[in-house]
Structure 1
């Protein structure tokens, strides 16, 4: 009897632990021997099923091929990689290999010969609770490091190459307001205007052009 109780407790504990595991996905940008590049995305099949049904509807596919097409389109819409502040990665010829861990491969273009910086964003699984994506670049002359993309960093990272090593840069609020994508937001333009106005008033007060408010 005790053995049955212990077994049930262990099974329950294992199920509970698995239910609280974060949804893990992996994104790998890899250089092949012929200097071409591929992008690989790995994630549990149920994660792909969840985001596809959530974004395209419960009855959005009736076959494995239709599901694969939706996965390819969905990843193209939610993964962005930009090099050296200019070159944006183009995903081409997507291939999906279904399984308990599903793998998606893209042939990619627009990778510069010399990578100085890299901006990556992967919002594919952002609606899944406690999700996180591991991002890696496997290129000739670059150290193998991995970076976590999750809710805390808005599923994005800014990386710089320092002595053949990718180093993550911390984005500040002030600098973030000047990014092209951020400036498209009217709210952030308003915030930027307030910050610049306060900075101007402070500078004028320092030069005694505008009198500082006296405290009572």
Structure 2
């Protein structure tokens, strides 16, 4: 029995190490984590491979746009400011401070969040930091009380956006108003079409 437990732990550790290593090497995948530190500070962390950041910075600014790590970090922060949005309850745009880039094989953007509303019923998050990379995907995770516990994938299919509302203690994707309007008037449209057909037939 001890041998089996040891083997199981080793297998789980190996799988975790392989997945982490693969993530660090893949420019297509990134993660967005919003959590609270031990001292109560709410922090945003965006993680991807250094290759992903380099490819996007070069694509936007051209080859040779930076000559030092500091210049590269500044360009990454410019992308972050222009390509990342976090809005709560439709009108509360979240502000970030003390943003910094931690360079490494797995590179991170760390930013502090000034404050959050006491109650949250709508979440809009958009991350187009890596939108120019093929098959770019970001996994968003909220580790905060009152926020959804599941993870969400932002990708090209959803314009790299997360848009969800809280209804009956469940987080759901809101129905577009245009869809609602079209369904509302669908019976009238059907009646109009049938009436037109009958009028056409009667004339013939």
Tell me which interval the TM-score lies in, with the shorter structure as reference length: 0.7 to 0.9
**CA gap 1:161/1:119 in 2 versus in 1, 3 angstroms:** same
1:212 match: 196
Partner of 1:174: 178
- 2:16 — aligned with what? none
1: CA distance, partners of 2:190 / 2:29: 52
Partner-residue secondary structure (3-state), 1:65: helix
Assess, with a 3 A threshold, how the Cα gap between structure 1 residues 22 and 48 changes in structure 2: closer, same or farther.
closer
Could you list the per-position Cα deviations for residues 137-184 of structure 1 after superposition, in whole angstroms to 9, with x for gaps in the alignment?
A: 11124453210000111111112235666x2415548269x9xxxxxx
1:70-81 paired onto structure 2 within 5 Å: 70-81=75-86
Note the 1:1-216 alignment, pairs <5 A: 23-142=28-147, 144-161=149-166, 167-169=171-173, 171-172=175-176, 174=178, 203=188, 206=191, 212=196, 214=200
CA RMSD of aligned residues (A): 3.3
Change (3 A) 1:57 1:168: farther
Classify 1:162/1:204 alpha carbon distance in 2 versus 1 (closer, same or farther; 3 Å). closer
**Cα pair 1:134 1:147 within 8 Å, conserved:** yes
What do residues 37-90 of structure 1 show as CA deviations (whole Å, max 9, x unaligned)? 211000000000000011111121110001001111101111111101110111
TM-score by length of structure 1 reads 0.69
Secondary structure at 2:97 match in 1: strand
In structure 1, distance between residues paired with 2:177 and 2:58: 35
What secondary structure is seen at the aligned counterpart in 1 of 2:196? Answer: coil
Hey, what's the Cα distance between the residues in 2 that align with 1:171 and 1:81? 20
34 and 162 in structure 1: CA distance in 2 versus 1, 3 angstrom threshold: farther
TM-score, normalised to structure 2, is 0.72
Structure 1 residue 36: deviation in Å?
Answer: 3.3
Following superposition, the deviation at residue 27 of structure 1 comes to: 0.7
Structure 1's 204 and 96: CA in aligned 2 closer, same or farther, altered over 3 A?
closer
How many residue pairs match? The answer is 176
